[in-house]
Structure 1
Amino acid sequence: MNSRSIFTDIILMICLTVIQIFLLNRFAIFEKYIPVLYPVFVLFYPFFRNKFVFLFLSFILGLGVDIALGTWGINAFATVTIAYFRTLIFRTSTETSTDFFSFLTLNWSQFLFFIFVSIFIHQLLVQYLEFFKLTRLFEVFINVLITSVISFVFIFVYALVFRIKQKV
């Protein structure tokens, strides 16, 4: 069983916010695509923990990024949305109907599909709320797709380094 507490969750949120703001936001790939790493908190939060605390922490995480970037709640909305629908995304990824969720029961393709779909939804919400214009619909979609792929690579490396699939 994982021994994470609210204190360690808050420390992780602060670290992810600092990494996102001071490192990744300055690391634009092709001067256009900014990878996101802070949603790993939402993706890998233990399923058995209190859902209301989880949604609140997800909101605070997104709000912290919004305050630093001046994006007026867009990241908070996207982060809370993927937090709220995380169980549904997980069930869709695994085609399971059980109430017990664990990354250990997934094969790698299901695990990677869960990560990519979650990141894609997050980026879709963030970028369409920030840049939406009907004349730029295709351009924003391409931006969402490329940013999702880049973010997926960063999150996959994070999962490998911290052995997420083995210990959550």
Structure 2
Amino acid sequence: MISNSYFLNVVRFILLVLVQVLVFNRLNLFGFINPMVYILFLYWYPIKENRAAFIFQAFLLGFAIDFFSDSMAIHAASAITIAYMRPAIMRFVFGVNFEFQSFKLSNTTRIQQITFLTLLIIVHHLVFFSLEIFSLANFLLILQKVLATGAATLVLCLLFGSLFSVRKE
């Protein structure tokens, strides 16, 4: 069972990097919106896994996107930030329930899942666009990019999530 989970994470990693680099980095909606669906890897990652390994994998994910996008480690910094903050965000959304051994993301309500994904996207985009623009004088531009790109990313992540979710009957 562990090897199945490991294999699934490797496949998700590779596919999300390829989809992000080959499709969504080239997509330019309204001139400035590029959805970042690779965040789904950090959303779908198993909860009870080793945290240091998770942060390292977040770095590798961000580094792979940066390597192909030529974006100077901004994706890596953003991915590491949300990987580090994920337990605090989970505690905020799910309460102390996520610390139990039997907790699974699929057993939570849809609203909790959307809230968790939304907070991950907002934190990621705040870090990403703050580092990209790197000027508080352009705070409204940062906010505009966070909200517009965040909305597009959330919609696409929800579509991908519903497309590739395992249905229980």
Normalized against structure 2, the TM-score is what?
0.89
Pairwise CA distance, 1:92 = 0.5
1:128 corresponds to 2:130: yes
Cα contact 2:90–2:116 (8 A) shared by 1: yes
Pairwise CA distance, 1:132 = 2.3
Within 5 Å, which residues of 2 pair with 1:58-137? Answer: 58-97=58-97, 99-100=99-100, 101-137=103-139
Equivalences, count: 165
Pairwise CA distance, 1:96 = 2.7
2-side partners of 1:69 and 1:55: how far apart?
21
SS at 1:23's partner residue? helix
Match of residue 141, structure 1, among 135, 143, 160: 143
RMSD: 1.8
Which of structure 1's runs of 4+ aligned residues deviate more than 6 A?
none
How big is each residue's C-alpha offset from its partner over 1:46-85, in whole Å with a ceiling of 9 and x where there is no partner? Answer: 1122222211111101001111111111111110111111
Within 5 Å, which residues of 2 pair with 1:10-49? Answer: 10-49=10-49
Pairwise CA distance, 1:105 = 3.2
Aligned equivalent of 1:154: 156
How big is each residue's C-alpha offset from its partner over 1:16-73, in whole Å with a ceiling of 9 and x where there is no partner? Answer: 1111111001111112100011011111101122222211111101001111111111
Pairwise CA distance, 1:9 = 2.4
Amino acid at match of 1:66: D
Pairwise CA distance, 1:135 = 2.5
2-side partners of 1:93 and 1:132: how far apart?
30
1-side partners of 2:104 and 2:48: how far apart?
9
The percentage of counterpart residues that share the same residue type is 28
2-side partners of 1:141 and 1:135: how far apart?
12
Cα contact 2:25–2:69 (8 A) shared by 1: no
Within 5 Å, which residues of 2 pair with 1:49-60? Answer: 49-60=49-60
SS at 1:82's partner residue? helix
Amino acid at match of 1:119: I
Amino acid at match of 1:87: P
Cα contact 1:132–1:140 (8 A) shared by 2: no
2-side partners of 1:135 and 1:76: how far apart?
24
Aligned equivalent of 2:5: 4
SS at 1:95's partner residue? helix
